[in-house]
């Protein structure tokens, strides 16, 4: 049976899953951590077993070679020929990529050119693509962009109220992120409800370490909480979310910071739940300490407050909502947070089934039968969405 690989490569990591097609089963997964550094970590998981090795892996090409050779050694594949396609997660597609794209030299160069929009991601993802090209030159590759799903937004929603020439000259606009996740869970929810996606007004809440809210109508992204970068939007684990831009200048002066990137780093890595609580960026830690730590409780309440505000604004934007989705780490696994968010909309007839919510596993409806809005938990599967895009765009058939 032929196989397709979904890859997420960064500057110092390379994560992957290997699927059989067309049955979409994961046969192996793994990662390389500390790529390009000393004591790199190499892991493969398959058949309930996990193999872990340490040793220097200097670059992406070495990592891909080691991974493919290990797949053969473990008899997960018999030869490279079994791999019929490779899909890559790419963070920033800018305004260029309105859909996933088959990789060509021009596409790789465009990904590199867009690195200024995602300097921590695009360069490593381009390196990963080029590594696979060297080793599997005849295997089609597809780039799947986090931003492409949001290219359906109207200018009213993606433009900032700054001089229009900045958009014309520099491409400054809202791009959003998590598009692959929002695309996957919205379709999965429609399938679960046995309703056409195009008939539904959906608000999708991707609540992980990074978090975003998306308004979806007719299967298309109408507006999303993240902005020019993933720093904007709701409060996240270590990201601030929306703040007054003047505050950046004020804090730089007070903190004697002269490099704007240093201030952006503070907003990206020292803010959010971590910054407010002083305890942890992990929601589980905050829930465990909220009774004895007022700031843990405050961080949770601010987190919920910002999510509720975005959901409320998107209900107004869509002129109603049919489906509310919770996904990603906190969204799919934390019943208490889901209930606090959904119960904020009791006034409009949203009702949570307490037992269904607390026992939800996999895709599940957690609203009561008389709720005016269907509330669902839908675990995301961005890797499967990547594989499906490889199949769709390369016209693969078994």
Specify binding-site residues for substrate.
89
Q: Are 86 and 142 in contact (CB under 8 A)?
A: yes
Q: Which is it for the CA torsion 80, 81, 84, 85, positive or negative?
A: positive
- Asked if residue 204 lies in contact with residue 379, where contact means CB atoms within 8 angstroms, the answer is no
User: Is 146 an active-site residue?
Assistant: yes
Q: CA 329 to CA 347: how far, in whole Å?
A: 27
The residues, ordered by sequence, that sit 6+ positions from 247 with a Cβ below 8 Å of its Cβ are: none
Annotation: binding site for ATP: 15, 206-210, 282-284
Tokens 């704007």 belong to residue:
260
Q: Which residues are annotated as a binding site for Mg(2+)?
A: 8, 382
- Among candidate residues 306, 305, 287, the one with its CA nearest the CA of residue 296: 287
For the CA atoms of 227, 366, 379, 338, the dihedral, rounded to the nearest 10 degrees, stands at 50
| CB 12, CB 34: distance < 8 Å | yes
Calpha distance 153→307 (Å, rounded): 20
**Residue in 47, 138, 146, 398 annotated catalytic:** 146
* 3-class SS of residue 304: helix
Give the separation between CA 150 and CA 178, rounded to whole angstroms: 9
Answer yes or no: are the C-beta atoms of 226 and 233 closer than 8 Å.
yes
Say which residues have a Cβ less than 8 Å from residue 283's Cβ, sequence separation at least 6: 237, 273, 300, 303, 330, 334, 337
Query: What's the sign of the alpha-carbon dihedral 305, 321, 372, 378?
Result: negative
Q: Specify the residue for token string 């009213």.
A: 156
**Eight-class DSSP state of 63:** H
Which residues participate in catalysis according to the annotation? 146
């Amino acid at each position: 049976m032929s196989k397709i690989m979904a890859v997420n490569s960064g500057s110092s990591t390379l994560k992957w899953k290997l699927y059989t097609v067309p049955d979409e089963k994961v046969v192996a997964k793994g990662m390389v951590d500390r790529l390009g550094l000393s004591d790199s970590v190499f892991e493969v998981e398959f058949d309930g077993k996990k193999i872990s090795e340490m040793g220097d892996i200097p670059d992406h090409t070495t990592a891909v070679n080691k991974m493919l050779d290990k797949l053969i050694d473990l008899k997960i594949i018999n030869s490279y020929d079994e791999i019929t396609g490779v899909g890559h997660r790419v963070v920033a597609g800018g305004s260029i990529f309105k859909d996933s794209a088959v990789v060509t030299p021009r596409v790789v160069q465009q990904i590199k050119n867009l690195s200024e929009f995602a300097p921590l991601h695009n360069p490593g993802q381009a390196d990963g693509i080029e590594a696979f090209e060297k080793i599997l030159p005849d295997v089609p590759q597809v780039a799947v962009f986090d931003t492409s799903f949001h290219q359906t937004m109207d200018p009213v929603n993606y433009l900032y109220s700054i001089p229009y020439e900045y958009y014309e000259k520099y491409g400054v606009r809202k791009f959003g992120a998590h598009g692959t996740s929002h695309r996957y869970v919205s379709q999965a929810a429609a399938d679960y409800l046995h309703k056409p996606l195009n008939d539904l007004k959906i608000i999708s809440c991707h609540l992980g370490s990074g978090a975003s809210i998306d308004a979806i109508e007719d299967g298309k992204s109408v507006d999303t909480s993240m902005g020019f970068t993933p720093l904007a939007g709701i409060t996240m684990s270590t990201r601030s979310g929306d703040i007054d831009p003047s505050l950046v200048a004020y804090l730089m002066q007070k903190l004697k910071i002269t490099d704007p990137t240093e201030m952006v780093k503070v907003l990206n890595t020292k803010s959010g739940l971590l910054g407010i609580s002083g305890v942890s960026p992990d929601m589980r830690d905050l829930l465990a300490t909220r009774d004895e730590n007022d700031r843990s409780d405050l961080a949770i309440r601010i987190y919920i407050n910002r999510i509720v505000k975005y959901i409320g604004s998107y209900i107004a934007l869509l002129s109603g909502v049919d489906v509310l989705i919770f996904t990603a780490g906190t969204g799919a696994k934390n019943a208490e947070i889901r209930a606090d968010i959904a119960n904020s909309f009791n006034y409009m007839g949203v009702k949570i089934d307490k037992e269904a919510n607390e026992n939800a596993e996999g895709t599940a409806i957690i609203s009561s039968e008389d709720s005016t809005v269907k509330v669902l938990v839908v675990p995301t599967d961005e890797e499967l969405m990547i594989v499906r895009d490889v199949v769709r765009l390369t016209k693969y058939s078994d």
